[in-house]
Structure 1
Amino acid sequence: MEPALHATRPFFFYRRSTGSRGCYRLMIDSSFRFAIASTFTAEPLEPVFRFWAEHVHERCEAVFAPYNQPLQTLLDPAGVFATNHRGVNILLVRLDDLGTHQPGELAATVRETARLRTVPLIVCLCPPASGTPGSAEQELRESLAHVPGVMWLDYHEIARLYPVSSPLHEHGETIARIPYTELYYCALGTALVRRALALTRPPLKLIALDCDDTLWRGICGEDGPAGVVLDASRRKLHELMLRKRAEGVLLAMVSRNNEQDVLQTFAAHPEMPLQLEHFTARKINWEEKPDNLAELARELGLGLDSFAFIDDNPKECAEVRENEPEVLAIALPPDEGRIPAFLDHLWVFDSAPLTAEDRARAASYQGVQEFGREMRNSVSLRDFVRSLQLDARIQPLTTDDVRRVAQLTQRTNQFNLTTIRRTEAEITALLNDGVRQCWTVRVADRFGDYGLTGVVIFEIDGALHLETLLLSCRVLGRGVEHRIMARLSEEALRNDAGAIVTRAVPTPKNQPARQFLESIAADYGEAEGDARVYRIPAEALTALEWQPELHEASRPVTGAAPRRFNHSAIDYGYIAAHLNSAAAIHAAMLDRHRIPAGVFASETENQLAAIWADLLQQAAVQPSDNFFDLGGHSLLVVMLVMRVRDTFGIELPVDDVYTPGLTLSELATRIEGYQLRAVSPEEYQALLDRIESMSDEEVEALLAGQDQDAQTPSGT
């Protein structure tokens, strides 16, 4: 039975899920949630989310708040935003739908509620129905520019990536407040998925680049350093890599070449945006590229699952995938003219909000490398440590550092006792709860300033309960962790807490953190399930100092199992090459349900079947199927009518779809009838002329074929 119509939604809506306080759900899976509140009907986005979930291998669900209730959804403590704990919240806004004062009220509500939520919020400004929105658009953008946990997206950026010439759908707006064409919903949904991935996936830490026919056109060893060319397409690659470096991603060269030829090529081309000083490391030799990538990971203390490798040669990329499957290997298109568009649609290079530490990361890794070289060459490790001029500043968390602290909890794997991950909103809530305390650790030495690289979270309740202790691998091997524990012991004693209690939860990568704790408190630990719990007398740590010869365990390790999210599992290259426009995405969505030739009596049936299968989430449909028997409901009827209009160019009455027992085959026949009625006088005359030119035998054969079709029972 069809549900009753909702009073605030014009005509149609989705079924209500049990206990959802008026929200409407289309379940895919409970893993990753898109929670959407919108000032217009947003449900046509769901098939787009479902399509991309298959491509990024992320099981998810889409949850829609009640129609046109953005403020209520932001404020509701039991609404779809407040109950979303893994995924993203999405607020879709058309300024046309807001009253004169509501943009300011909306921005104030977003600022007030963002700190209460545990997942990021994407605020997306969508195309207006008509005219220009004036200053309200700019004011809304600026008012949300620096709100922790909030990311802005607007229709200008969507149009840059996925241009749609005619995004508005007047018919859909009128009958169901569906203001955009199906093509534009594809563009909008794709942009939202890209932004969600950028916000929630682990970031790349290093991009390794081949040289010949990648950084330049030509082979420097054969054409000579002066003979290679920086064409416009590869210049765009250079510029993209410089932007990624400015965002904190390290760059490296991995090339099978004579190193001197490569160095001379850079010297001969000062016009190239990328120069030698922009590369943190290079492996230019005749060794296999997978081996060179593994060596880079060991030298820099990074996991291979944070690496991307770019090459012009698909064979080289295949060898990397075969031998180092954690590395994301990307082959550039063979047609160099396609490289710029390809780079625009490499989702893996989309950026999340940056911190000052991100921007300084490349420079700090140069200090890390210099530190490593001097340490290896030092006669006495103890004397080397004393010469570091180490400065570890341990301070209470301030609001300015919330983004960086959340980022460290998400990214730090090796020296992290519990690997509890937190969002900006959760860190902000922690800052204000009055129970837990959060310290930040800034580290500098004579090799450089590494910025905010450590986080400590604890509470004092009889004992000092240490919940989080993490340090970036860039500052391990200096004794910073020992200074933190000594400071914690002072804090415990100052508050009459006799012990420091903490847990070491094993993960595939946090062996350095566990070894450190065991090295200073082995006598105070005991097993508790998979974890190990330590209850350390505070007095035992007050004079704690690093003994370099005894504690080699704090140095970073590599080669552990990959993180939960693995970039190499997603075929970013295929997406960039083949799914880089709204039209291509829309066609691919329909092709999933394309029926083999011969199943249906006409192309109209075939096209209609693909539409039904997509709307109804059916692997396949048959000519004898009924729309409602397959799960159709009122909002899907509206979407069907819109898609029929866009595909076949006719206005299909809603009553036709509601005809009892109507099959797909019968609906296709009605569509063909409407198409025939819509023929212009000129087209009709041309049809008559064609019939008149036919022989009697041809006319009889045509009529006989129609009679046979009419006598064939439906569904056989």
Structure 2
Amino acid sequence: MTTQMGFAEMMQSLHAGSAALDYRKTGRLLREMEAQAGVHVALMGNVTLDLLTPFLRVEAAKVGQMSAFHVSPFGQYMQALHGEALQRFDPHVIVLLLSAEAMRPDAFERFHQLSVEDRHRLRDDMMAEVEGWIDSAVMRTAATLMVANFPCPASALGVADLSSDYGEREFFLDLNLALLRAVRARPRAMMLDVVAAMGRVGTRQAVDRRMHYVAGLGWTDAMMREFGAVFAHALVGALGAARKCLVLDLDNSLWGGVAGEDGPHGIRVGRGDMVGEAFRAFQLRIKALKERGILLALCSKNNPEDVEEVFRLRDDMPLQLSDMAATAIGWDSKYTGIEKIARQLNIGLDALVFLDDNAAEIAAVRQYCPEVHAVLLPPDPSDYVDILDALPWFEKSRLTAEDRARTEHYALAARRDGLCASCDPMDYLRDLDMRAAVRDAGPADLLRVHQLFNKTNQFNLTTGRPTMGEVEAMMTDPAWQLIVADLRDRFGQLGTVGICALRREGAALHIGHFLMSCRAMGRGLEHAMMNEVKRRFLESDAASLHGTYVPTAKNGPVRGFFDDQGFAASDGGDRTDYALCRADVAFRDCDWIMLETE
């Protein structure tokens, strides 16, 4: 059993950084706590995967995912998909790591004797095997599939390989491009970029030939750490665990210098100056996060007028105030400003990442807002981009239209708030001119539905977090009805903002999930959604309609939702179960929302 001292040491080492971390010792401590694991990860391949497990386990824990691991027998990655052991383990994620040379040893031993046509056939044959594995895994499991690409070995032809017709380098580039396209075409699959990881470590520092001959996996500890980090980034994306907002300091963080002292033209950001170039590159990288649907915010101790002047006069900067979803500029403490930003955006503190160059400010935020992931920027601004890239908290497995429009959604919300402040609440709802479509989900909704399941906390009656495979199953299983709600108003589109999943069990119809994005709260859309559920209930031959409320730290606003909808409660211990019979069905008025048919 893990001792209290061992646990404390483990947590300290997790926060100490990779250089000070004993992955094998920490991995053993984490393994003793596998009973608490919320994520099941299966490893398959034709290399010795047991060596990797401590590194994957620790890196997963560093992003808050306590994980249990199942390693399939060496080389039996196709057979393992059909085995009972995998079914019992019920993985959320399956990692496939293959050595190209081990897949086709005879062909690679005589690669340079193969004709160009034979090399093409070798590529197609390998891809057919990998795609066959992916398709079989999709059919047999509900897991997210993470498939590693293939690093190119050093060619025996040296530089001549690069001028050869379909040489070894070109072969591997082509193979990995085919793999990328195959993975992209399958929504539940992701690629783990071993090639990029090896490039960051350096091939000579990543490869240990002796370990390859001894253990079947010729990676150094440095390479296994980097692969673990790649896995952790992918895990954040796969589980929808990305944080929602990056909060930024200004002086010596977003630009060089102090706005109030150096003035708009004295701060350093822009071309032609080494320091200015570094800050410009950092701003460009931050701006790119908006494309992932990450909100940007400013929290700085400054005179608001000085900050506004900088942005007004320095329109050459990549970032402008219009890119910010919220700001807290003034002389309050940074942690007070961060709390203000969270309230303004209606998100939890655990959805924020804060970057600052001041160690004292970072320490204060960590003390008073421990849910926020606070990152101290290094002294050299040329390192800022690498620091940002190393953060796993902004990863998405795929991007949706809602992601790209998220900052615009918050800007429109501010305009709606302005309307709300100027009139009666009911007049406000009618003035919004809302139009809603409550409809069956289709394949095109998969990514957004999975995202909503994993991101919605406040208006979420059970806070279930189904995997993408489980969402796919709901869409195809006749026992389930997966309903989504789209909303727009006179200010613009809010997109798909609500989900209800109904499941038939015998003579009863169960509401397995009922949730709605926080940006749609307070509009009455939940009544339109529940009215549709009640309509479907009455049109069915089910005798009763059932629902469950599972309380969490964040879903208090919906504690009385089923009561308000006429359901009768029964105590279920740590949850409340509800039931509604046909005779007691009553529809809630929400005539300020116009329902549209598809």
Could you say what secondary structure the match of 1:227 adopts? coil
Map 1:1-40; keep pairs closer than 5 Å. 27-30=31-34, 31=37, 32-40=39-47
Shift in Å, 1:498: 4.8
* Counterpart check, 1:410 vs 2:417: no
The Cα shift of 1:439 comes to 0.9
Counterpart code for 1:258: N
Give yes or no for contact 1:502–1:533 (8 Å, CA) kept in 2.
yes
Q: Does 1:159 align with 2:198?
A: yes
SS state of the match for residue 203, structure 2?
coil
Who is 1:91 aligned against? Answer: 96
Counting only pairs closer than 5 Å after superposition, residues 27-426 of structure 1 correspond to structure 2 as: 27-30=31-34, 31=37, 32-49=39-56, 51-52=58-59, 55=62, 59-73=66-80, 75-80=81-86, 82-85=87-90, 88-99=93-104, 100=122, 101-114=125-138, 116-129=140-153, 130=155, 131-132=168-169, 133-134=171-172, 135-165=174-204, 167-200=206-239, 202-230=241-269, 231-378=276-423, 380-426=424-470
What is the rounded CA distance, in whole Å, between the counterparts of 1:57 and 1:536 in structure 2?
39
Instruction: Name the residue aligned to 2:580.
Output: 536
Which amino acid counterpart does residue 500 of structure 2 have in structure 1?
V
Residue type of the partner of 1:151?
A: M
Amino acid corresponding to residue 49 of structure 1 in structure 2 = L
* Partner of residue 485 from structure 2, selected from 406, 428, 441: 441
Residue-by-residue CA offset, 1:591-637 (whole Å, 9 max, x unaligned) = xxxxxxxxxxxxxxxxxxxxxxxxxxxxxxxxxxxxxxxxxxxxxxx
1:249-288, Cα deviation, whole Å (9 max, x unpaired): 1111111111111111012212211111101111112222
Cα RMSD (Å) of the superposition?
2.5
Q: Distance in 1 between matches of 2:238 and 2:382?
A: 30
- 8 A contact 1:455–1:469 mirrored in 2: yes
Task: Quickly say closer, same or farther: Cα 1:175–1:209, change in 2 above 3 A.
Answer: closer
2:555 equivalent in structure 1? 510
CA distance in 2: counterparts of 1:438 and 1:29, whole angstroms: 35
Are residues 301 and 65 of structure 1, via their aligned partners in 2, closer, same or farther at CA, if it must alter by over 3 Å? same
Residues 324-333 or 166-175, more deviating: 166-175
Q: Give the equivalent residue in structure 2 for 1:590.
A: none
Deviations 1:174-209 (A, max 9, x none): 444333444433433332233224433622111111
Contact 1:463 / 1:500 at 8 angstroms: preserved in 2?
yes
- CA separation in 2, counterparts of 1:301 and 1:121? 33
Between the aligned partners of 2:100 and 2:257, the Cα distance in structure 1 is 51
Instruction: Indicate how the Cα distance of structure 1 residues 496 and 333 shifts in structure 2: closer, same or farther if over 3 A, else same.
Output: same
CA contact (8 A) 1:84 1:118 kept: no
Q: Answer whether contact 2:547 2:577 (CA < 8 A) is retained.
A: yes
What is the distance in 2 between the residues matched to 1:391 and 1:415? 20
Give the 3-state SS of the residue equivalent to 1:121 in structure 2.
Answer: strand
**Deviates most, 50-59 or 535-544:** 50-59
Give the letter aligned to residue 301 of structure 1: N
Deviation at 1:546, TM superposition (A): 4.0
Which SS does the other structure have where 1:214 is aligned? coil
Instruction: Indicate how the Cα distance of structure 1 residues 173 and 233 shifts in structure 2: closer, same or farther if over 3 A, else same.
Output: same
Instruction: Describe the shift of the 1:543–1:412 C-alpha distance in structure 2 as closer, same or farther (beyond 3 A).
Output: same
- For residues 305 and 263 of structure 2, the distance between their equivalents in structure 1, rounded to whole angstroms, comes to 11
2:535 to 481, 484, 490: 490
2:571 to 527, 532, 535: 527
Matched-pair contact (CA < 8 Å) for 1:164–1:183: no
Secondary structure, counterpart of 2:96 in structure 1: strand
SS in 2 for 1:348: coil
The 5 A counterparts of 1:543-692 are 543-546=587-590
Per-residue CA shift, 1:8-48, capped at 9, x if unaligned? xxxxxxxxxxxxxxxxxx95542244421112223321342
Evaluate the alpha carbon distance shift between residue 234 and residue 116 of structure 1 in structure 2; reply closer, same or farther with a 3 A threshold: farther
Give the C-alpha shift of residue 160 in structure 1: 4.3
- In structure 1, what residue type is equivalent to 2:49? A
User: Residue 450 of structure 1 aligns to which amino acid in structure 2?
Assistant: L
Taking structure 1 as reference, are residues 483 and 50 closer, same or farther at Cα in structure 2, changes over 3 Å only?
Answer: closer
- Is there any run of 5+ residues in structure 2 with no aligned partner, and where? 1-29, 105-121, 156-167, 270-275, 593-598
Which amino acid is 2:371 matched to? Answer: E
The TM-score with structure 1 as length reference comes to 0.68
Post-superposition offset of 1:50: 5.1
CA shift, 1:376, in A, is 2.3
**Is residue 413–residue 419 contact of structure 1 (8 Å, CA) maintained in 2?**
yes
CA positional deviation for 1:289: 1.9
- The answer on whether the counterparts of 1:28 and 1:62 sit within 8 Å (CA) in structure 2 is no
Aligned-residue identity in percent: 29
Question: 1:408 and 1:482 mapped to 2: Cα distance?
Answer: 19
Q: 1:188 to 1:206 in 2, by over 3 A?
A: closer
Structure-2-length-normalised TM-score: 0.81
Change in Cα spacing, 1:425 to 1:55, as seen in structure 2 (3 Å) is closer
Report 1 or 2 for greater relative contact order, CA contacts < 8 Å, sequence distance ≥ 6: 1
Number of aligned residues: 519
CA 177–423 in structure 1, closer or farther in 2 if over 3 Å, else same: same
Structure 2 residue identity aligned to 1:111: D
Question: In 1, distance between residues paired with 2:510 and 2:437?
Answer: 21
Q: In the alignment, is the contact (CA less than 8 A) between 2:416 and 2:491 conserved in 1?
A: yes
- Asked if the contact 1:300–1:369 (Cα under 8 Å) also holds between the matched residues in 2, the reply is no
Q: Does 1:459 align with 2:503?
A: yes
Preserved CA contact (<8 Å) 2:42 2:93: yes
The question of whether the paired residues in 2 share the 8 Å contact of 1:490 and 1:538 is answered with no
Pick closer, same or farther for the CA change 1:408–1:439 going to 2, 3 Å: same
Instruction: Indicate the residue corresponding to 2:27 in structure 1.
Output: none
**1:95, 1:103 within 8 Å by CA — same for their partners in 2?**
no
Report the residue type matching 1:93 in the other structure: L
Alignment partner of 2:393: what SS? helix
State the distance in 1 between where 2:50 and 2:462 align: 39
CA distance in 1, matches of 2:436, 2:366: 40
Task: Measure, in 2, the Cα distance between the counterparts of 1:55 and 1:62.
Answer: 16
The verdict on how the C-alpha distance between 1:236 and 1:540 changes in structure 2, with shifts beyond 3 A counting, is farther
How far is 1:221 from its partner? 0.8
2: distance between equivalents of 1:516 and 1:57? 31
Q: Which has the larger radius of gyration?
A: 1
Query: Where does structure 1 lack aligned partners over 5 or more consecutive residues?
Result: 1-25, 549-716
Measure the CA separation in 2 of the matches of 1:167 and 1:360: 40
Partner amino acid for 1:280?
A
